[in-house]
Chain A
Amino acid sequence: MAAIEAEKLRRTYKSTSGFARRRTKTIEAVRGIDFEVGEGELFGLLGPNGAGKTTTIKMLVTLLIPTSGTARVLGLDVVRDARAVRRKIGYVFGGERGAYDRLSGLDNLRYFAELYGVPPKVQKRRIPELLELVGLTGREKDRVEGYSRGMKQRLHIARGLLHDPPVVVLDEPTIGLDPVGARELRHTVAELARSGKTVLLTTHYMYEADALCNRIAVIAQGEIVATGTPADLKSIVADRTVVEIEAFGAPEETIRRLREAPGVTSVAVEDREQAQVLVVQSPHGLELTQELLGYLDGVRVGRVAAREPTLEDAYVSLVTDGR
């Protein structure tokens, strides 16, 4: 039996605008997705902001009712058996909010342990273990409002594990963390998978999914556009060449023309301080560097380098091809 199953899972939102004449708009956040996560698997749901990751997660943890389709956790339906699902699942969300800031980390953990029906004797053993696991031992009696962002994230993880759930869902747990904090947190997530738990992780950091996940589903505009192991996804762009061009102040129009240039498969733009790095993909063997620089006439160009495609290039290709 799969730990998590989603079948034709769909969710729309309604938003209204206007004062005198109110208009209702329906937004398709998740458009009938199917996926399965096996027991003990560390599965990544990868996609850009607004792709539908968090909406999918919230349906699985029973915080949202699907518009149509079904989802099951350990065979339990997320709508019909919501309370039973909540006992089996640990939900960890990213961001700083979500804890009672005026109380200590220990107070927060004790309260949620009670909500999850953890017996007092078990709490006495489990809470120190979890504090140790997430590196908060010694700070548990401090008020949460004095915690750093990373400490709050780790407190969320400890809270999600209080009832020792077989399935753990982490929604962008490393968002906004500094590199050291993010690395420590990834280590904790890897430990969870090693302990036999089923882990569903959402992220928009490709290297995070690559480092942690057994399998990945790439979601874009509410649809799953690819599923497979990191190696499977890399193979999607194996036949491509990637050129990275460092540019300074390239206007939007220039980037648009670059995207439409013959032979160019995709162009991703990464902002790095004052520079933009244009990551241009094209079919393998096609030498386009000179032509590409021609399109950037009038723009100050720095370093230019061709390299082998990475998983991140596969991801960029998958989420931009449909646009």
Chain B
Amino acid sequence: MIRVARLLYVSWFFNLKQLTRSGLFIFTSIVEPLIFATLAYYLFKAGQRPGTLLYASLSAGLMGIWTSTLFGSGGVISWQRWEGTLEPIVAAPPPLILIMFPLTLATATIGLYSLTATLLWGRIVFGIPLEFAHPVTFALAVGVTILALGALGIVIGGSFVLYREANALSNMLEFPVWIVTGAIVPLALLPGWVHYISWVLAPTWGFRAIRTATFGGNAWPAFGMLFLLFVVYLAVGQWFIDQFERRARERATLSLV
């Protein structure tokens, strides 16, 4: 158990280090959320609702976490194949999920750049005070949201590699998920059937936990749902990864040559 925990930690840190060396990845993780944050500030200001400006900062940051998870995890296996590192990691003894999960977790963690950037942008440029009702719960909510998104990343990465056509959905999935998880408009404004989709998406509960910790209220139901989804995603992700590994060894698709 300790060995598995150490493997997960070392692999997560290794992959995080690798991702932070990609200037372009960091740049896009920061710039896009800042644009959305700026738009949101002006919209909220125009709506004469100054009390919700922090809401705009948080939403833009969380949208950034989702974007970096979606694009980072979606291409994770293809990227390893392209770099020639897929074969060495598959040839290593641990189950592939233990190697892939820290990787997708690292892509979700990179989203912290987005959240930090939008909060600081709001504070420095628009003078929005950073006041959190429950600072400790806020930090915990961010951490748990990233963990759950990392697990969702395994499902995304696994399914995209198994069904290659699904990769084309990356761009399509970015904006709709922002909407159905309540990052742009409150869920209450959306049709009832959309709520079923929202409930199975970790970002919904992550946003809810973070906002509750910021503005006050009970965040624990959202934590409970995040934990449940984390377990379900890992189970589904493991199935995808196992299928991928078996098929790749049968069809010789682990390397480009």
Contacts and interface: CB of A to CB of B under 8 A. Distances in A.
Nearest to B20: A102
A114 B21 CA distance: 21
Interface residues of B, number: 29
Contacts of B251: 14
A98 B252 contact: no
Given A102-B18, A117-B93, A112 B88 contact: yes
B252 A13 contact: yes
A65 interface: yes
B7 interface: yes
Interface stretch (A87-95, A187-195, A256-264): A87-95
B85 A107 contact: no
B130 to A, nearest CB: 33
B17 A114 contact: no
B18 A100 contact: yes
Given A86-B92, A87-B93, A98 B7 contact: no
Interface in B2-21: 3, 6-7, 10-11, 14, 17-18, 21
A61 interface: yes
A58 B87 CA distance: 10
A175 interface: no
Contacts of A64: 249, 252
Nearest to B19: A102
Contacts of A107: 14, 17
B4 to A, nearest CB: 10
B83 A100 contact: yes
B85 A99 contact: yes
Contacts of A65: 246, 249-250
B254 interface: yes
Contacts of B246: 65
B200 interface: no
Contacts of A14: 251
Interface string A71-115: 000000000000100110001010101111111000100111011
A304 to B, nearest CB: 39
A115 B252 contact: no
A63 B90 contact: yes
Interface in B98-127: 99
Interface string A111-125: 110111100100000
Query: Which of A87, A107, A114 has the most C-beta atoms of chain B within 10 angstroms of its own C-beta?
Result: A114
A63 B87 contact: yes
A111 B91 contact: no
B92 to A, nearest CB: 4
Interface of B: 3, 6-7, 10-11, 14, 17-18, 21-22, 83-85, 87-95, 99, 246, 249-252, 254
Given A61-B91, A83-B95, 6 more contacts: A14-B251, A63-B249, A95-B84, A111-B10, A114-B6, A114-B11
Interface of A: 13-14, 58, 61-65, 83, 86-87, 91, 93, 95, 97-103, 107, 110-112, 114-117, 120, 159
Closest 7 CB pairs of A and B: A97-B84, A102-B21, A115-B92, A98-B84, A86-B93, A114-B10, A111-B14
28 contacts: A58-B252, A63-B87, A63-B249, A63-B254, A83-B95, A86-B92, A91-B88, A95-B84, A97-B85, A98-B88, A99-B84, A99-B85, A100-B85, A102-B22, A103-B18, A103-B21, A107-B14, A111-B10, A111-B14, A114-B10, A114-B11, A115-B7, A115-B92, A115-B93, A115-B99, A117-B3, A117-B93, A120-B6
